[in-house]
Structure 1
Amino acid sequence: MRDLYIYYQVREADAPALLPRVSAMQAALAHQQGVAGQLKRRPEARDGLQTWMEVYPSTGEGFSAALAAAVEQAGVPALIAGARHVEVFMDMVPCA
């Protein structure tokens, strides 16, 4: 299983329009894929931009493709400034 951390910048003026889109997208993904996403943001804005992060824990095969389709369907790219940056992490397996 892999955890996805996706961060991007949002113009402060676009944040009120983007929030319900991302929230609805995450609710649909939770229903369809069984992955409960989280949405976070840095407390401060810089140069009129907020930094947001979506977190998707314990994703399985096919989730990345489902997420990419959901992002496009929700119209997220139109309301962010720049690219979405995806980081992938996995649990450490303890040594016996």
Structure 2
Amino acid sequence: MADLYIYYKVRDEHAAQLAPLVRAMHAGLALQAGVMGTVKRRPGSLEGRQTWMEIYLATPDGFDTALAAAVRQAGLDQFTDGPRHTEVFMDISTCA
């Protein structure tokens, strides 16, 4: 299982419109894939843009495909400014 950290930019004027879409998408993913996401943002903004991050812990194989479909269905791209960047992390095994 992998943890996904996805960050992207949001214009200040789009933040209020995007937040409920992300939360609704998270609710749908929790029902569909059993993974509950969270969303965070950096404090403040730079040049009218905020940095947001979605976090999905312990995702099963194929979750990235379900997430991509959910992002399209939710229409998040209309309120983000630029691409979504995904970082993948895994637990460190205690066995060598």
Output the CA distance in 2 between the equivalents of 1:44 and 1:17.
17
Residues 37-63 of structure 1 show CA distances to partners (whole Å, capped at 9, x for unaligned) of 010000111000000000000001110
Structure with more of its chain in strand, by fraction: 1
- 1:19 corresponds to: 19
CA deviation after TM superposition for structure 1 residue 95, in Å: 3.6
CA RMSD after TM alignment: 0.8
Q: TM-score, normalised to structure 1's length?
A: 0.97
Q: Flag structure 2 segments of 5+ consecutive residues without an equivalent.
A: none
Runs (4+) of structure 1 exceeding 4 A deviation are: none
Instruction: State the percentage of identical aligned residues.
Output: 57
- 1:4 corresponds to: 4
Count of equivalent residues: 96
